Amino acid sequence: MKLFQLTIYELQVLLKNREVTSIDVTKSFLNRIKNVDKNINSYVTVTEDSAMKQAVKADKKFKKGGDLPPLLGIPIAIKDLICIEGLKTTCGSKMLQNFVSSYNATVITKLQENGAIILGKLNMDEFAMGSSNENSYFGPTRNPWNLETVSGGSSGGSAAATAADLCVASLGSDTGGSIRQPASFCGIVGLKPTYGRVSRFGLVAFASSLDQIGPMTKDVKDAALLMNIICGKDQFDSTSADTPVPDFTKSLVINVKGMKIGIPKEFFIEGLNQEVENNIKEAIKVYKNLGAECIDISLPHTEYAVAAYYILASAEASSNLARYDGVKYGYRADSGKGLMEMYRNTRDKGFGEEVKRRIMLGTYVLSAGYYDAYYLKAQKVRTLIKKDFDDAFNKCDVIITPTTPYPAFKLGEKVEDPLQMYLSDIFTISANLGGIPSISIPCGFTNNGLPIGMQIMAKHFDEESIFRSAFSFQQNTDHHSKKPDLQFF
């Protein structure tokens, strides 16, 4: 195994025993990025110089010994909508192409305090709106398993970089599936924590009632290690929850005996890809063999989730994105005949097509006369979806579904058809509307060698049941350890 192929905990051992230096590890990733990323396009910014400086510092600390922070010398990369002081935060948009952050997001402060090395910023759909990474101003990120297919979105850069060993692990954000859907397309682990679990201070807002930051990693154990660091109440984010943060690594046990796993019938619908369905059914068998009790459940309002989400997320986005006016942040177009024209030109030229579509949709559903029919109704549907979960979790500990209805699709295939693109999120959106935690883990491959993901959801703040069930599955299968064959390297 090469250094860039290892997990966080494997590198921790090598670094701690001083079998390798942090400089060796960091260089191995920087070289890998140079050799491979021109084909994948997962990085928007590579912070080579500062990463090397951080590595030198880390090695000094290792030499000194004593009490060392857990992520010391571990190179991690960050979705480009999380602010890092002194670096660009582009959000995949022309609007913020040259915007430099003046402060650190709380998750970044936490990573750095724990010794992590930041390798750079990762590509994404513009303002996190999309399911294929094709909405990035910097061009699409390709899927390392097949360069003609999409990496998923919006955290496609985070998923592809992690899958192609261009970082040890990454952070993404998930509003309607943006961590889990690309994780599933690229064959990695992606966790959307409970709403409120992780501070969003320094995360550029898309839809504030849904956005969450989460880890994207090569396996379940690494996800638990990162969760131990990024979770917790933050004085800078009033929506972060004051709920105790357990040591998630304690849930990494192979034990699902007696665990109740709910299988919702609404997720096994017409249009579900046959290979995806077969793989999930195989996975359910694995759980049964391990002594779990699998029961049929119903989440009756699932069919309304996509419609409700695209109303609510767009409404919130139209309000959040009002701040990009050419005055306060980023790009400014010609002022023409005055202020109004400057606003108009800036937003016309600075935003891409999909972002404009969401702003228009959001403004429409919030406008007087339509508010009750669309926005208010969607809020009511959201309450019903949340209630579906409350009822379900009275009967079971976790819920298992496919993460996506099909594996990664071809670049260009859905770009002209927004509705088809929106339907990619059909299985992931409900967890955001309900605010519950949800993970995607690798559970197999199609005959064409594309990864398939399984989604595991649990009740609010019960990431521990997710880790227990995900780890039990992982340790009894080998899908997570397969790597894409990057022949061009």
Residue ranges in contact with ligand GLN by CB under 6 A: 128-131, 153-154, 174-178, 206, 313, 425
In the set 27, 79, 94, 192, the catalytic residue is 79
User: What's the alpha-carbon Rg for the chain, to the nearest Å?
Assistant: 21
Least distance in Å: CB of 61 to ligand GLN? 36
**Chain residue whose CB lies nearest ligand GLN:** 178
Cα separation of 403 and 185, whole Å?
9
Mention every residue, 6+ apart, whose C-beta is less than 8 A from residue 314.
Answer: 207, 358, 359, 361, 362, 365
- Give whichever of 175 and 465 is closer to ligand GLN, judged by the CB atom: 175
In the set 154, 170, 184, 424, the catalytic residue is 154
DSSP 235: T
Q: Dump strand ranges (E) for 186-334.
A: 189-192, 212-217, 260-264, 293-297
Least distance in Å: CB of 481 to ligand GLN? 27
Known catalytic membership, residue 319: no
- Give whichever of 175 and 199 is closer to ligand GLN, judged by the CB atom: 175
Least distance in Å: CB of 427 to ligand GLN? 12
Cα separation of 336 and 60, whole Å?
55
- Give whichever of 143 and 251 is closer to ligand GLN, judged by the CB atom: 143
Known catalytic membership, residue 314: no
- Give whichever of 165 and 425 is closer to ligand GLN, judged by the CB atom: 425
Q: What count of other Cβ atoms lies within 10 Å of the Cβ of residue 277?
A: 16
- Give whichever of 181 and 228 is closer to ligand GLN, judged by the CB atom: 181
Which is nearest to 305 in space by CA: 371, 361, 381?
Answer: 381
Least distance in Å: CB of 130 to ligand GLN? 5
Q: What count of other Cβ atoms lies within 10 Å of the Cβ of residue 98?
A: 10
In the set 178, 240, 430, 472, the catalytic residue is 178
**Residue 376: strand, helix, or coil:** helix
Known catalytic membership, residue 158: no
What pairs with residue 297 in β-bridges? 264
Which is nearest to 156 in space by CA: 129, 179, 187, 190?
Answer: 179
Peptide bond into 154 cis (omega under 30): yes
Least distance in Å: CB of 267 to ligand GLN? 17
Cα separation of 282 and 258, whole Å?
19
Distances in Å between the Cα of 142 and the Cα atoms of 70, 85, 93, 434 are 32, 28, 18, 31
Please calculate the CA angle 399-157-96 and round it to the nearest 5 degrees.
Answer: 115
**Residue 293: strand, helix, or coil:** strand
- Give whichever of 144 and 190 is closer to ligand GLN, judged by the CB atom: 190
Q: Roughly how many angstroms between the first and final C-alpha of the chain, as a whole number? A: 15
| DSSP letter string, 415-440 | TT-HHHHHGGGTTTHHHHHHT--EEE
- Which residues does the annotation mark as catalytic? 79, 154, 178
